[in-house]
Structure 1
Amino acid sequence: MKYIIIFIIFISNLYAFLTTDISNPNLIALNSLNINPSFIKDKKTNYLFNIYSKRKKRYFLNILENGYSYIPLIKKEINKAHIPSNIVFVAMAESYFSSDAKSNKKAIGLWQFMPQTAKHFGLKINTYVDERKDPIKSTIAAIKYLSFLKKQTGKWYLAIMSYNCGEARVIEAVTRAKLDLYCKSHKCRKNKKIKELRSFIKEYQRNHRKFSKLYYSFKKTNRLYPQNLNLENLLRVQKGLKRQYLPKETRKYIRKIVAMSFLLNSNNFVQYQNHYLLNRGSMSNIIKVNVPAGTSLGYISKFLHISYSRLRKNNLHLKYAFTPPNEDSYIYIPYNKLALFRMTFNNKKIARKIIYKVKKGDSLNRIARNFKLNYKIIKDFNHLRTSFLRVNQTLVIPIRHNIKIPKIITYRVKKGDSLNKIARKYHTKTAKIRKLNNLRNFTIYKNQKLSIPTYITMR
């Protein structure tokens, strides 16, 4: 009877604790990611939280300020998709809100997409664009990917870890941990079903192509042994095992995202005059506008009266200073310039181009190198079916911002001139002048006309 009373008191106290702390923002954050409330006491997560909130406070504020343009865009898409708001911290952990971020594994952009995954979720990567650097499109693709991972694994925190190390690795971890947890309280040595499930896991570890069997073992384990598995179980380091449930990087990754959630829920964290930066409205300071094929960013920057560098920064998804020449496209401009854009944008002046006449000895590759372009761009602009050119053929060449392009000028030799002096004046080489003018030696005379290869800067 004594023990029953103690148990009832314990349950009552536990219920009182949970009902009292139901408004705790950290518990709400954990709940939204399907993480058990007990994880609020995780020592390593709280250690990270203390570092971020004290020693690295200014560092994290700088990250938030860098993401000033992107945070509202991400929030807007997250709200539309009805997924946990904490997902914003995945972008923060992946790239620190930098659209230009690049890893040594060739992952690129705000959400650090690998090329194959990016294309699978609808992002374009071609000669002209890399939409992994597009803040809106990459966010939509990341939400689709994370939602797919949630469907595969069943919980948001598992989806986030899968985003870091792959769903197969997480599915393997959950299956192993569940079987180990079950076998702690049951005799499993002679259990044929568990032996079969473990054999599927080992088969996958030997040959990563056997994902179907691994996923079968994951679903079967969840059905046969539905005991609750907490995040703590997956993050536990097993002594003597080379292959832990999860890689060290992923264990730190999920703790980092949870710590960030705690950090932005903390009243002691630096506040702005009215609100936290992350609680800004969904209005961004950039907006998407449609433009014709081949639109020059240099032209847009001039008539909108903004710096080219600012406009370029907003359009990192464009590999060149113009939109694709073979299809209508879009760019991002400052929101406060939208009215001016609608009133003054002239479709007839969409790009800075020059007309180039093909000379003897020219090739498409050579011309492209001179203008610092990919030869395919010139082909697309001129609708060329092949790379063959003919003398005196005219080509339309799109000009990049601030590019130096070759130009031949005529120079009349003055008294005291030498080839070296003329070459230095026009930033070229004497060998080029001699070759262009068929000079056998370095002798020149007063009033002689020379063709000088030089460069002019197109702005």
Structure 2
Amino acid sequence: MLKYIFTLLFPFLLFANLTYDTNSQKELKLLDSFDIEPSFLYDPVMNKIKRKIITKDKHFFRAMNNAYTFIPAIKNALTKYDVPQEFLYLAMAESNFRTKAYSNKRASGLWQFMPRTAKRFHLKIDEYVDERRDLIKSTEAAAKYLSSLHKRFGKWYLAAIAYNCGGGRLSKAIKKAGSDDLKVLLNPKKKYIPRESRNYIRKIVALALIGSDEQYLLSCEYEHLLNRANAYSIAAVRLSSGDSLKRVSKIINIPLRDLKDLNRHLKYDFVPPYARGYDIYIPYIKLAEFKQKYKKQPINKIYKVHVVTRGDNLSYIGKKYGVSYRVIKDFNHLKSNRLSLRQKIIIPIPKRSAKRKLNSRDYYMVKKGDSLESIAKAHRVSVKNLRAQNNIKGSLIRVGDRLRLYE
């Protein structure tokens, strides 16, 4: 009888053993991609972090689902610069895959770049774009940064730690410890590196272990996360100067909201009025349709046209339409503020709308009587934050200025 029962159960026991071996091998391979020793699987603090993430798995899966469309593109960008794909989870640790993530230290985007570091890696931040929020450009910048850190320190886990606390801080820690061994650097009593950095590398590994655990994903009914095909990836396409996202959404028949989600680096609902145009992202499955249907259209056919009358000036026109005078000036390629009677001025708002303001909850246009203090109080932000985000040294602001509020 026992022999009969064992015969029946043997395939299941064998399958369970194979599954265990497969998971174990995957975990060891994952640690190896970070240059971390296998014994780290038993690190008590890392496992505590892992359990905590699992108990709040709704947050984990929400983040993974939100990033489902662009995760293949991020992995491809990392591979392009020879960075292990597991560093995808560094972005998850940094921003929870929210492209609009912004910290009180002025770090922004998926990879939480500071303005100075963004500039170092040629990410543009201006009136129209913040490329720290660009899915691909920010990932390529992060990959270049991580590659440079790996070249400097020789191990991927050191590159991850340096990304968090800075290369200089890590160099001092290694010199003080007399070792770059992870177990030594994580010593809680010696405190060679900040506590945040000690838990940072642990969180990245914990997230990666969860994200690669097939049995866990299957048991939670999230097996679709294991099957990300290139069909769910994105493609870059070039729009002509100042073109409207709304127009593109109609051309390729996708909701405007979905298009905006892929292009959070754009500060307006149009691409910048740069002479050469500007790239945006669309779902890859829509690429053929875009190529077939998209044609450059004269900008005066897309937006409102204002004919200058006596007494008009850029400030007045901007106030009338709720558009910054600087934007109007850029859109019309004006070299000075002078206007002439009956001059036609492009106003980047929908053509059929007379006074519809640009849709942007994260910005505020300065009105007569405003001060930094009154704006800060009305929008529940600090004056210090307003100054930092808008590069204001004193308290001088002008009517028509467009201030960042919640970036």
- State if a TM-score over 0.5 links the two structures: yes
Is the 1:124–1:131 contact (alpha carbons within 8 Å) kept by the matching residues of 2? yes
Please state how far the C-alpha of 1:72 moved relative to its aligned partner.
0.7
- The answer on 1:384 being equivalent to 2:385 is no
Separation in 2, partners of 1:150, 1:30: 16
Q: Does 1:250 align with 2:197?
A: yes
Give the match for residue 392 of structure 2: none
The letter of the residue matching 1:291 is: L
Q: Do 2:306 and 2:347's aligned partners in 1 also have CA atoms closer than 8 Å?
A: yes
The equivalences for 1:145-184 within 5 A come to 145-178=145-178
Q: Does the 8 Å CA contact 2:73/2:234 hold for their aligned counterparts?
A: no
8 Å CA contact 1:39–1:231 kept in 2: the answer is: no
Describe the SS at the equivalent of 1:348. coil
Alignment match, 2:343: 393
Q: Could you tell me how far apart the structure 1 residues matched to 2:99 and 2:125 are?
A: 15
1:331 to 267, 275, 280: 280
Distance 1:279 1:91, change over 3 A: farther
- Residue identity matched to 1:332: Y
Q: Which residue matches 2:304?
A: 354
Q: What runs of 5+ residues in structure 2 fail to find an aligned partner? A: 1-20, 358-407
In structure 1, distance between residues paired with 2:116 and 2:26: 37
Aligned equivalents of 1:262, 1:369: Cα separation in 2? 53
2:38 alignment partner in structure 1: 37
2:67 aligns with 67
Query: For each residue in 1:247-275, what CA deviation from the matched residue of structure 2 results, as whole angstroms up to 9, or x when unmatched?
Result: 11111111101111222333441228795
Provide the rounded CA distance (Å) in 2 between the counterparts of 1:175 and 1:402. 66
Letter of the 2:186 partner, please give it.
L
Identical-residue share of aligned pairs (%):
42
Amino acid at match of 1:304: I
Aligned length: 334
- Offset, 1:401: 9.2
Structure 1, unmatched stretches of 5+, are: 1-19, 179-227, 408-459
* Matching residue of 1:89: 89
Matches within 5 A, 1:116-127: 116-127=116-127
Offset at residue 49 of structure 1 (A): 1.7
Query: TM (normalized to structure 2)?
Result: 0.75
- TM-score scaled by structure 1? 0.67
Kindly provide the CA deviation profile for residues 57-90 of structure 1, in whole angstroms up to 9, marking residues without a partner as x: 2321121111111211111112222222211111
Q: Is the 8 A contact 2:322 2:356 kept in 1?
A: no
Is it true that 1:375 corresponds to 2:325 in the alignment?
yes
Partner SS, residue 143 of structure 2: helix
For 2:82, the aligned partner's letter is H
CA RMSD of aligned residues (A): 2.6
Matched AA of 1:383: H
- Please say if 1:270 is aligned against 2:214: no
In 1, the alpha carbon distance for the partners of 2:166 and 2:221 equals 41
Aligned to 1:288, what secondary structure does the other structure show? Answer: strand
Distance 1:402 1:348 in 2: 16
Q: Would you say the 8 A contact 1:297–1:311 is kept in 2? A: yes
> In the aligned structure 2, how far is the partner of 1:403 from the partner of 1:157?
54
Letter in 1 for 2:42: K
Structure of greater Rg: 1
Aligned to 1:450: none
Q: Aligned partners of 2:222 and 2:203: how far apart in 1?
A: 27
Q: Could you tell me how far apart the structure 2 residues matched to 1:298 and 1:267 are?
A: 39
